[in-house]
């Protein structure tokens, strides 16, 4: 497994998104996915306090056990966890991180991320609290999620001599290329790593969803009508089918195309795809080794409606 950098951290080019832990997966299924990830060479595990209302962190910490130091452990805070438990106010930042450390059974987070901007707290105050946690050894690097380019620039200016965001995690896939408009360029200016979430468009870019067909049983889009309406659009399904045909022409799968294309973007440090089974983990881990030729990239741009 190739590795890339997030600040001072070396992370596997394909990571594991842990949003299924504690929701779709119980502890035993979580442990089997974690085991498969480690066996496949995945060292970057990304979770959040809000996933499963803390259960994702609890299950992940327990499943890793004594192997915690073999991985780069990332979590997020800031989403609503209960009355007064949200946002980026300094007191809550410290409380949220302590809670995550306890659930994950560790004394530090490798990457601590603000899950979304907090309009009620100046970013300088959040960064000051995070810097204190870095200085205390409880956090190695800090990051953010769902930030615009302007918010990233504001955060860099507000950080002063203190800890700065080393990464940003935004939605990015072959079916959602919005970060190319401004955020990726800002990452380049700041030397930040980019972490795409929904890299497989909630399964649409795996080939499991077909135009005119209902979502397969037990898939995320089968059990969540709101997500199904968002991702299973006529345009998305038609584009995915066209991309799958293009991949097949190259002797590859749609999954390989989706993951390898993202890893070909300069700022992308790791594709953190979720998984609900060991087989999915192994497929994701194996999907990132294709260096896509320039002529194929140009055809991808045409199929996805983007200018080369």
CATH homologous superfamily of domain 3-203+258-290?
Answer: NADP-dependent oxidoreductase domain (3.20.20.100)
pLDDT in tens, 71-92: 999 999 999 999 989 999 999 9
DSSP type of residue 267: T
Judged against a pLDDT cut of 70, whether residue 228 lies above it is answered with no
**Residue of 51, 172, 197, 198 with catalytic role:** 51
Residue 133's pLDDT is 98
pLDDT in tens, 242-256: 999 999 999 999 999
Mean pLDDT along residues 264-284? 96
Residue 209's pLDDT is 65
Q: Using CA atoms in the order 181, 183, 188, 194, what is the torsion angle rounded to 10 degrees?
A: -120
Residue boundaries of the structural domains of the chain: 3-203+258-290
Query: What b/e sequence results for 34-48 when a residue is b if at least 16 CB atoms lie within 10 Å of its CB, and e otherwise?
Result: bebbbebebbbbbbb
pLDDT in tens, 121-136: 999 999 999 999 999 9
Residue 223's pLDDT is 58
Catalytic annotation on 172?
no
pLDDT level of residue 230 (50, 70, 90 thresholds): confident
Residue 210's pLDDT is 65
């Amino acid at each position: 497994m190739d590795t890339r950098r997030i600040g001072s951290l070396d992370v596997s080019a394909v990571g594991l998104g842990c949003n299924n832990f504690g929701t779709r997966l119980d502890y035993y299924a979580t442990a089997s996915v974690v085991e498969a990830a480690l066996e496949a060479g995945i060292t970057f595990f990304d979770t959040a306090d809000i996933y499963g209302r803390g259960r994702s962190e609890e299950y992940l910490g327990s499943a890793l056990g004594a192997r915690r130091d073999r991985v780069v452990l990332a979590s997020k805070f800031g989403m609503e966890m209960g009355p007064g438990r949200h946002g980026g106010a300094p007191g809550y930042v410290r409380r949220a991180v302590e809670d995550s450390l306890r659930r994950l059974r560790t004394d530090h987070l490798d990457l601590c991320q603000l899950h979304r901007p907090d309009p009620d707290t100046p970013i300088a105050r959040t960064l000051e609290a995070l810097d204190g946690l870095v200085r205390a050894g409880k956090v190695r690097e800090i990051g953010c999620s769902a930030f615009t380019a302007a918010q990233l620039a504001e955060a860099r200016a507000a950080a002063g001599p203190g800890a700065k965001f080393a990464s940003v995690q935004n939605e990015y896939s072959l079916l959602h290329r919005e970060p190319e408009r401004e955020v990726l360029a800002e990452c380049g200016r700041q030397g930040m790593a980019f972490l795409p979430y929904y890299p497989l468009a909630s399964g649409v870019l795996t080939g499991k969803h077909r135009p005119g067909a209902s979502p397969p049983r037990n898939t995320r889009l089968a059990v969540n009508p709101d997500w199904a309406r968002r991702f299973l659009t006529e345009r998305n399904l038609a584009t995915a089918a066209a991309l799958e045909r293009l991949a097949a022409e190259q002797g590859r799968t749609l999954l390989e195309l989706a993951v390898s294309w993202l890893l070909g973007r300069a700022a992308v440090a790791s594709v953190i795809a979720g998984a609900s089974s060991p087989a999915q983990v192994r497929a994701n881990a194996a999907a990132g080794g294709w260096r896509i030729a320039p002529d194929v990239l140009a055809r991808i741009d045409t199929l996805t409606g983007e200018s080369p």
